[in-house]
């Protein structure tokens, strides 16, 4: 088992972290966690080397932190690290910072949080954190012993990521979305390398894109099987990340004991530089094939940008394509809901179509995508 040094700290962490936003539930109600089973899963993981349990204020309707607190009783708190996140969107004034931190400490039944993140930062939320002086507040809480390390999770584009990293020289870590399909999405590989160069540990979320990369189209799966037929498809997804020295830890939102056991075994046999040239090439081929199979022939070249009214045309088409390809339109609809400028804002100026190398009927495609995402028709 190979532990990884966590950035500029003296902490060494197991390469797999337990994400608690997809714990087993009862009756299909996301807020009703199967507490007994969740506790068994978390404790089994800790007993088998995992030492990073990730939760957040809104997970499972606010109940994830409570269950994590229960799971870490009976001596388990001393065996692992807790990570949770400040609900930035709920912070309206400085007094809210203390309010939510101490509520979280109570729910977790702990005196301190090892890894505390400013949750889901984008340009707007980061500006709010600057206005309420969240970083200087966190520094004070570190000195008081309530927090050990400060970081942030991120959901925006690379220039915003870079500005956040550069804003505060004492960030300990950053959490970003990354997998072999999303290498240029949000912070992407560029952000991973930039943060690493600045001495930050980097935690990866969505390594399997919410489970999509565990259920590949047969033609894509064959790309991997032809190179190494014995490696499970899920492990291929994790290994893409564990292979890189810049990756400190990969989070997995595990819902069953079987997933916990399998993922721990994958992590135990992972190491930096583990992939061969032919295996690395397989990721490129798989990603390219997925692009070829998409229903909208957008290559993501960006010639249609900037849109007159700010629509992220290639981003919206990418969401649609991947939702269709992986037969997961519900997830695609959720991703689309986060787009700040919806497809219906199109004024049909035609500038994008004039610039598109693929000759796509962008105006009509935007209407189609919005209709399917909002009505399912």
Q: Which of 281, 304, 334 is the last residue of a domain?
A: 281
Residue 203 lies in a domain: yes
In the chain, what is the straight-line distance between the N-terminal and C-terminal CA atoms, in Å? 50
At residue 376, the pLDDT reads 60
Q: Domain of 25?
A: 4-281
Of 165, 210, 157, 152, the residue nearest 188 (C-alpha): 157
Cβ contact 317:298 at 8 Å: yes
Q: Are strands 113-121 and 29-33 parallel, antiparallel or unpaired?
A: unpaired
Cβ contact 117:152 at 8 Å: yes
Residue 290 lies in a domain: no
Q: pTM for this structure?
A: 0.84
DSSP 93-110: STHHHHHHHHHHHHHHT-
At residue 211, the pLDDT reads 82
Dump pLDDT digits (tens) for 24-80.
999 988 899 999 999 999 999 999 999 999 999 999 999 999 999 999 999 999 999
Q: Which of 281, 315, 338 is the last residue of a domain?
A: 281
Q: Which of 258, 281, 304 is the last residue of a domain?
A: 281
Q: Which residues are within 8 A (CB) of 316 and not within 5 positions of it... i.e. 6 or more apart?
A: 336, 339, 343, 366, 369
Residues 219 and 359 in one domain: no
Dump pLDDT digits (tens) for 234-287.
999 999 999 999 999 999 999 999 999 999 999 999 999 999 999 999 999 999
Model confidence at 1, pLDDT cuts 50, 70, 90, reads: low
Give the mean pLDDT of the chain.
94
Give how many domains the chain has, as a whole number.
Answer: 2
Residues 141 and 277 in one domain: yes
At residue 42, the pLDDT reads 98
Model confidence at 20, pLDDT cuts 50, 70, 90, reads: very high
204: pLDDT strictly greater than 80: yes
Residue 346 lies in a domain: yes
Residue 289 lies in a domain: no
Residue 320 lies in a domain: yes
Residues 352 and 308 in one domain: yes
312: pLDDT strictly greater than 80: yes
CATH code where residue 235 lies: 3.20.20.100
Dump pLDDT digits (tens) for 319-368.
998 888 888 889 899 989 989 899 999 999 999 998 886 788 999 999 99
Q: Which residues are within 8 A (CB) of 287 and not within 5 positions of it... i.e. 6 or more apart?
A: 180, 181, 183
Residues 211 and 89 in one domain: yes
Residues 83 and 229 in one domain: yes
Residues 276 and 346 in one domain: no
- Strand (E) positions, the chain? 4-5, 12-13, 16-19, 25-26, 29-33, 52-54, 81-86, 113-121, 147-154, 173-177, 201-205, 249-253
At residue 19, the pLDDT reads 97
Q: Are strands 25-26 and 29-33 parallel, antiparallel or unpaired?
A: antiparallel
Residue 226 lies in a domain: yes
377: pLDDT strictly greater than 70: no
At residue 263, the pLDDT reads 98
Residues 363 and 306 in one domain: yes
Q: CA-CA distances (angstroms) from residue 249 to 14, 44, 170, 208, 272?
A: 7, 19, 19, 14, 12
CA 273 to chain centre: 22
Residue 268 C-beta-side C-alpha neighbours within 13 Å: 11
Dump pLDDT digits (tens) for 152-198.
999 989 999 999 999 999 999 999 999 998 898 889 999 999 999 99
Residues 199 and 336 in one domain: no
Residues 259 and 205 in one domain: yes
Dump pLDDT digits (tens) for 99-142.
999 999 999 999 999 999 999 999 999 999 999 999 999 999 99
Cα–Cα distance for residue pair 252/13, rounded to 1 Å: 15
86: pLDDT strictly greater than 70: yes
Residue 288 lies in a domain: no
Residues 275 and 315 in one domain: no
């Amino acid at each position: 088992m190979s532990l990884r040094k966590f950035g500029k700290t003296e902490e060494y962490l197991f390469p797999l972290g337990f994400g608690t936003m997809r714990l087993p539930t009862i009756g299909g109600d996301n807020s009703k966690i199967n507490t007994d089973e969740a506790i068994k899963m978390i404790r089994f993981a800790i007993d088998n080397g995992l030492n990073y349990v990730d939760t957040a204020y809104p997970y499972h309707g606010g109940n994830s932190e409570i269950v994590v607190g229960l799971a870490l009783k009976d001596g388990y708190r001393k065996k692992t690290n807790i990570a949770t996140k400040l609900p930035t969107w709920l912070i309206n004034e400085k007094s809210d910072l203390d309010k939510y931190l101490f509520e979280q400490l109570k729910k977790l039944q702990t005196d301190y949080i090892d890894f505390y993140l400013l949750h889901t930062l984008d340009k707007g939320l980061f500006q709010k954190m600057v206005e309420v002086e969240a970083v200087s507040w966190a520094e004070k809480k570190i000195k008081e012993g309530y927090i050990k390390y400060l970081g942030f999770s991120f959901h925006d584009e690379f220039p915003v990521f870079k500005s956040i990293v550069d804003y505060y020289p004492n960030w300990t870590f950053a959490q970003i979305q990354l997998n072999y399909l999303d290498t240029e999405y949000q912070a992407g590989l560029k952000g991973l390398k930039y943060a690493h160069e600045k001495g930050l540990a980097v935690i990866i979320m969505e390594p399997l894109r919410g489970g999509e990369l565990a259920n590949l189209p047969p033609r894509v799966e064959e790309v991997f099987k032809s190179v190494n037929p014995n490696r499970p498809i899920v492990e291929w997804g994790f290994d893409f990340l564990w292979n890189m020295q810049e990756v400190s830890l990969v989070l997995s939102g595990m819902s069953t004991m079987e997933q916990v056991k399998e993922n721990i075994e994958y992590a135990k046999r992972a190491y930096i530089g583990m992939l061969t040239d032919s295996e690395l090439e397989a990721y490129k081929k798989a990603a390219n094939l997925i692009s070829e199979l998409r229903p909208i022939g957008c290559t993501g070249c960006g010639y249609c940008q900037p849109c007159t009214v700010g629509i992220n045309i290639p981003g919206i088409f990418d969401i649609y394509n991947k939702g269709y390809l992986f037969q997961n339109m519900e997830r695609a609809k959720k991703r689309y809901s986060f787009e700040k400028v919806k497809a219906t804002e199109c004024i049909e100026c035609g500038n994008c179509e004039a610039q598109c190398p693929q000759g796509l009927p962008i105006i009509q495609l935007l209407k189609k995508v919005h209709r399917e995402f909002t009505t399912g028709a």
